[in-house]
Amino acid sequence: MSRKIILTCAVTGSIHTPSMSSHLPVTPDEIARSAIEAAEAGASILHLHARDPDNGRPSADINVFRQFLPQIKNATDAIVNLTTGGSSQMTVEQRLSAPAELAPEMCSLNMGSINFGLFPMKDRYSNWEYDWEETFLENTRDTVFKNTFHDIETVFRMLGEEAGARFECECYDVGHIQTLAYYLRQQRIKPPVFLQFVMGVLGGIDASPHSLIMMKDTADRLLGNAYQFSTLAAGRQQMTLGTMSVILGGNVRVGLEDSLMIGRRELAISNAQQVSKIRRVLEELGYEIATPDEVRQMLNLKGADKVGF
């Protein structure tokens, strides 16, 4: 039997702005529809952010989450993975307010602070739909994406210990794996660990085969058999490094949060298009995509009946 692959789709995120692609889901109905289509295409996990429906700005408003989460839950059995990262320009309190109350099966957990540089992207665009977009990108020149040890431990307490969520541990660089290993030794994180290599963000590790191998070697050395890994590559290396991740024994994340493209100079028209492409590549290589219920068993999740939405 071939190995089952965990396929995550990051539906909208907080990196790109509405002017960058007309296909980026913004309103609650658009986010719900795009997430459901991605699940139907084969995504077992849906990683979800919220946006202000009036202007597309990243939002921490729980009432916005509540407009799309029930739609997704009612239409699919995919695992909902809520962000605790939100945006680098939100406070930690803002970022945690919705997931702490909504108690998802999974949530993201950023394993360290970094410079999160989006400002080079503003030079590629000139026709902005909203006045906040260019400023939002430029502000990342002087913004630290804050994820201190205290912040991480707050997520453990509020989302893990109190709400029973499991974590997608996002590591933007090698040192973040050291932090993850520390908390594994402290038993604040318990196996099976689900580690996401986040590659290609300016300020973190680059999206290259060499760096992916280094990240995996470091995780093997520090975490042993206690983890599974997945890879997201921001930008044009999304499909290449995602495929390499699976060949190396891991899993893959795609979605419009990480890349707006489906091919060279070609915008993706939907999250489902990216999911279908990586699924087709992997199945032609002989792999199988895990169902949501298989992933629940693999990652020891609490089940969709125990969430707060």
Show the low-confidence residues of the chain (pLDDT under 50): none
User: Quick one: pLDDT at residue 245?
Assistant: 98
Query: Would residue 237 count as lying in a domain?
Result: yes
Query: Would residue 309 count as lying in a domain?
Result: no
Query: Would residue 189 count as lying in a domain?
Result: yes
- Rounded CA-CA distance 250/245 in Å is 5
Nearest-CA neighbor of 107 among 152, 160, 172? Answer: 160
Residue 154: give its domain's CATH number.
Answer: 3.20.20.70
Over the Cα atoms of the chain, what is R_g? 18
- Rounded CA-CA distance 299/293 in Å is 10
- Rounded CA-CA distance 38/41 in Å is 5
The set of residues, in sequence order, having a beta carbon less than 8 Å from that of 8 and lying 6+ positions away, is 43, 44, 45, 46, 47, 81, 168, 196, 230, 232, 251, 252, 253, 254, 255
Query: Would residue 182 count as lying in a domain?
Result: yes
Query: Would residue 55 count as lying in a domain?
Result: yes
Query: Would residue 104 count as lying in a domain?
Result: yes
Query: What is the total count of domains within the chain?
Result: 1
Query: Would residue 308 count as lying in a domain?
Result: no
- Rounded CA-CA distance 37/240 in Å is 23
φ/ψ (deg, to 5) at 202: -60, 120
User: Quick one: pLDDT at residue 2?
Assistant: 76
Query: Would residue 46 count as lying in a domain?
Result: yes
Full residue range of the structural domain in which residue 192 is found: 4-302
